[in-house]
Amino acid sequence: MGKSRQCAESCVDYLALELVHHYRTQLQGPSLQAALDAVGERAGRQLAERCARDRAPLLEQLEAVKFICKEFWGEVFRKAVDNLRTNHRGTFVLRDTQFRWLVRLSQNQMPAQLGQPLPAPAAKADLAADFLLLPCALVRGALAQLGWDAAVTADAASLPQVDFTVVMRQQVQR
């Protein structure tokens, strides 16, 4: 087998941004969400297959979530999750205090024409909503491939910190 090839991290950043912009030109609202969900889920499944290789079996729900917090997050978002909370009844909150994909998200937008005053800054949470669809889908796809059906949502009220809430549904039939 050949040596593993690598590319600059900025390529992943730009690709993620361009993905959202591309679909935004064609779709709005629920269908935009569905398109990004589909892309992310597929990629999440493939990444899980690759990342979970050569590891001890992940039999427990908590082990699977811890795998996502450490190994999976490290592979995809280049760091580990900073804080994991659970209610021990299937709901987990993964907190990433410096979410790398959104660290440079700016609230300021350009005015329609040069010389006009800047428009009021939009709420960061709204701006980030579309860009968080892909990471949520990646996590959902990875968990699905590991055998856990889950719903993943993200809360970006205080960027650059992002809270991902994972609600586990029924375990997929083994």
Partner 1 sequence: MIVAVAVVGPINQPLYLSTFTDDESARLSTLVHCSLDAVEEKVAAGMRGVTTDVPDAYLGVLAVEEECKVYGFVTNTRTKLIVVVDDPLIKDDEMRAIFRRMHTAFADAVSNPFYVLGTPLVSPRFDASVRTIATSLGAAA
Of residues 63 and 155, the one with the C-beta less far from partner 1: 63
Least separation in angstroms between residue 142's CB and partner 1 is: 9
Binders in 138-167 for partner 1, by CB under 8 A = 145-147
Closest CA to 109 of 124, 100, 119: 119
Closest to partner 1 by CB, 51 or 133 = 51
Give the DSSP per-residue string, 156-169.
-TTTT-EEEEEEEE
What is the CB-side half-sphere exposure of residue 118 using CA atoms within 13 A? Answer: 7
CB-CB contact of 101 with 16 (8 Å): yes
For residues 87 and 65, give the distance between their C-alpha atoms in angstroms, rounded to a whole number.
Answer: 13
Distance of closest approach, residue 57 Cβ to partner 1, in angstroms: 5
Decide: is 49 part of the binding site for partner 1 (CB under 8 A).
Answer: yes
Binding site for partner 1 (CB under 8 A): 1, 42, 45-46, 48-50, 52-59, 145-147, 172-174
